Amino acid sequence: MDCEKVRDRFSSLLEKELTTIEEKIIKEHLASCSECKRELAGFEKTMQWLHSTNEVDVPEGFLPELYKKMEERKKAFPVKKMGEEWFRFPLLLKLPAQAVAMVAIVFLVLYLTKTTPMENYRVKETLPEPSPLSTEKKPEERLLIPFESSRPKKSEPADVRSQEKEREQKPQEEQVEGEEKRTETPSEKTEVMAHRIESKDRVTATLPSPEHETIRKEGIAKQKSIPASKPLEEMVLRISDRVKAISQIHEIIKQFGGEMIRTEDQLLIVSLPTSSISEFKKELGGLSGVSQADALTPPQQDRVRLRAPSKPVREEVDERRRELAGKGTDEPRTVVRILLLE
Amino acid sequence: MKASPRVEKELIERCKAGDKKAFEVIVLHRQKRVFNLAYRMLGNLEEAKDLAQEVFISVFQSIEDLKEEIKFDAWLTQITLNHCRNRWKYLKRRQYFNSESLDDPIETEDGNMPKAIYDPSDNPETLYEKKSIQELIQRGLLRLKEDQRELLVLRDLQGFSYEEIGQLLRLPEGTIKSRLHRARMDLKEVLEKVAH
């Protein structure tokens, strides 16, 4: 057995864990190897010193100091913090829990945003509503693509601009032609502006404000002075240019033998012969926003229709206007409240 | 001083219920063992005192988690070793031991003492006071690797069995024996260096 192997067994020799044969071999080696013998002596001395070490006494005041520390900790952390237990959990549990919480938050946010007043309004908007302004329009088609129609088409602004240019070039022609267009379909600009009306405007339009209520009352009071007047009718008119629209409405009222009772900021109160109400509404419909059905038609078609209204229709309308204008003021009249929305 | 296993179990159960008197008895029974383990691992009386107190605070705070009362001592030793490892790392980072060498005066219960010169051929009882040998051993222990020191302290100073050490360090008995022998030989070499 070489010296290295003998020295590796010093601990076993000391603790008497060697077999008798191993012990005999090592002792034989030690008897012949002075180096290993010296090594063993040093090892035994080290072990002797190690085992001779006494335990050190605990310093005085160990326990009172311990209690003091415990009290200090208690004061510093009187109760367990809310999240303390959470921080003790391993990441293996915490991460999935956090992920689930995040997903739940996202779904909650989506749910809440879906049922916000704005969304409610949008839902309402998609419902078919009886439009007093357009009799030619198809509200069913409006339901199909409610949001598409609310976006202004890219081609539309160009059309509007070209139309405005045309108007500038031919102002007189425009005046005559504009009226004719309104009988068929409203102008494209009006259409675009009408579609840009936001929900806020809508809400204010549908909810009668106290101010409007007083105006309505005043209108009714005035209406009382008018013989055989019918109950009040209401209309909402979407316009792009207020001044222009008012002047156009004035003209239409005159054509139907009516009179303007009152003009407020956004409210017009008009008295008209009852028989001409439906025609008057049609006429006003031309000024107002078009139905969704019209908005869905390709812009080219609109342009064709706007530029070249059929001649028989134009003549028919003019004839009807003359008829209505010819009628006397004796017939029963109806007060119409027109709310203008820009 | 340790009570019978039945009394020990009762004490631990009372301590779990928050009985401070029972906790005090447990501290008094084990404070010397915990303090000495800490002192041999850290080589500083003040640090050992602080650490032993921290160990007992940890015991009081987490004794509810102890499921088997019979393993209380092993659990306590494990807590002490963990505290010692953390404290050693902290002190090492702060280079607490770097300024010291075997020639430096060493701290004892009575204050600093001059170094002891190692000579295996001499009789330590006649040449040096026993205390100085102990301190020399302590100094030598601090020169060893942490795991070697742990083994020497647990086996040769604290008297743990190989089985207990195996459970504490989660090592097989054979590995413990070979590593322990290596640690003893290294300590011998460290002490011999001082002599020459």
The interface pTM score, or ipTM, of the predicted complex is 0.81
**B87 and B110, same structural domain?**
no
Q: List C-alpha distances in Å: B140 to B40, B93, B99, B165, B191.
A: 10, 20, 15, 21, 6
pLDDT given at position A113: 83
Which residues, in sequence order, are bridge partners of residue A270?
A260, A336
pLDDT greater than 50 at residue B130: yes
Interface of B with A (CB under 8 A): 24, 27-28, 31-33, 35-36, 39, 45, 48-49, 52-53, 56-57, 60, 109, 120-121, 124, 130, 133-134, 136-138, 152, 156-157, 177, 180-181, 184-185, 187-188, 191-192
Mutate to test the interface with A, among B137, B139, B165, B186 (most CBs of A within 10 A): B137
Q: Is A332 helix (H, G, I), strand (E, B) or coil?
A: coil
> What CATH number did the domain enclosing B29 receive?
1.10.1740.10
Of B33, B35, B137, the CB nearest to A50: B137
**B145 and B115, same structural domain?**
yes
Residues of chain B positioned with their CB less than 8 A from the CB of A57: 32, 109
What confidence category does residue A82 fall into, taking pLDDT thresholds of 50, 70 and 90? low
Rounded to whole angstroms, how far apart are CA atoms A263 and A266? Answer: 8
Residues of chain B positioned with their CB less than 8 A from the CB of A59: 35, 45, 49
Question: Which range is least confidently modeled, A81-85, A312-316, B16-20, B62-66?
Answer: A312-316
Residue predicted with more confidence, A232 or A69: A69
Residues of chain A positioned with their CB less than 8 A from the CB of B136: 49
**B105 and B87, same structural domain?**
no
Q: Kindly report the nearest CA distance between residue A109 and chain B, in angstroms.
A: 41
Minimal CA–CA distance to B176: which of B187, B167, B186? B167
Q: Which residue of A has its CA nearest to B53?
A: A66
Residue A51 forms contact with B (CB below 8 Å) = yes
- A-to-B residue pairs, Cβ atoms closer than 8 angstroms: 92
**B175 and B91, same structural domain?**
no
Minimal CA–CA distance to A298: which of A306, A308, A288? A306
- For B171-189, the pLDDT digits (tens) are 999 999 999 999 999 999 9
Mean per-residue pLDDT for B113-128? 47
Burial A231-266 (b: 16+ CB within 10 A, else e): eebebbbbbbeeeebbebbbebbebbbbeebeeeeb
Backbone angles phi, psi at B113, to 5 degrees: -130, 155
Record: contact A62-B177, CB cut-off 8 A: no
> What CATH number did the domain enclosing B166 receive?
1.10.10.10
**B84 and B133, same structural domain?**
no
What confidence category does residue A325 fall into, taking pLDDT thresholds of 50, 70 and 90? low
Residue A62 forms contact with B (CB below 8 Å) = yes
Number of domains in chain B: 2
Of B24, B152, B192, the CB nearest to A63: B24
Residue predicted with more confidence, B118 or A323: A323
pLDDT greater than 60 at residue A156: no
What is the overall mean pLDDT for chain B?
A: 82
Record: contact A46-B177, CB cut-off 8 A: no
pLDDT given at position A94: 85
**B73 and B131, same structural domain?**
no
Backbone angles phi, psi at B118, to 5 degrees: -85, 130
Q: Kindly report the nearest CA distance between residue A14 and chain B, in angstroms.
A: 11
Record: contact B156-A51, CB cut-off 8 A: yes
Which residues, in sequence order, are bridge partners of residue A335?
A271
Mean per-residue pLDDT for A211-226? 48
Mutate to test the interface with B, among A5, A8, A43, A62 (most CBs of B within 10 A): A62
Measured from the Cβ of residue A172, the count of other Cβ atoms closer than 10 Å reads 7
Record: contact B32-A49, CB cut-off 8 A: no
The range of the structural domain enclosing residue B182 comes to: 101-196
pLDDT greater than 50 at residue A146: no
Of A11, A46, A49, the CB nearest to B180: A11
Rounded to whole angstroms, how far apart are CA atoms B93 and B79? Answer: 21
Q: Are B177 and A9 in contact (CB under 8 A)?
A: no
Distance of CA A101 to the CA centre of its chain: 22
Residue predicted with more confidence, A46 or A259: A46
pLDDT greater than 80 at residue A184: no
Residue A10 forms contact with B (CB below 8 Å) = yes
Record: contact A7-B185, CB cut-off 8 A: yes
pLDDT greater than 80 at residue B140: yes
**B54 and B124, same structural domain?**
no
Record: contact B133-A49, CB cut-off 8 A: yes
pLDDT given at position A89: 75
**B70 and B22, same structural domain?**
yes
- pTM of the predicted protein model: 0.49
User: In which residue are the tokens 């000024």 written?
Assistant: A287
3-state helix, strand, coil in chain A (%, to 5): 65, 10, 25
**B164 and B130, same structural domain?**
yes
Mean per-residue pLDDT for A47-51? 90
Residues of chain A positioned with their CB less than 8 A from the CB of B185: 7, 10, 43
**B92 and B68, same structural domain?**
yes
Domain boundaries, chain A: 3-52, 139-341
Mean per-residue pLDDT for A26-42? 92
Question: Which range is least confidently modeled, A27-41, A127-141, A235-249, B128-142?
Answer: A127-141
pLDDT greater than 60 at residue A97: yes
Residue predicted with more confidence, A118 or B124: A118
Of A41, A49, A56, the CB nearest to B36: A56
Rounded to whole angstroms, how far apart are CA atoms B146 and B152? Answer: 10
Record: contact B188-A42, CB cut-off 8 A: yes
**B105 and B79, same structural domain?**
no
**B119 and B75, same structural domain?**
no
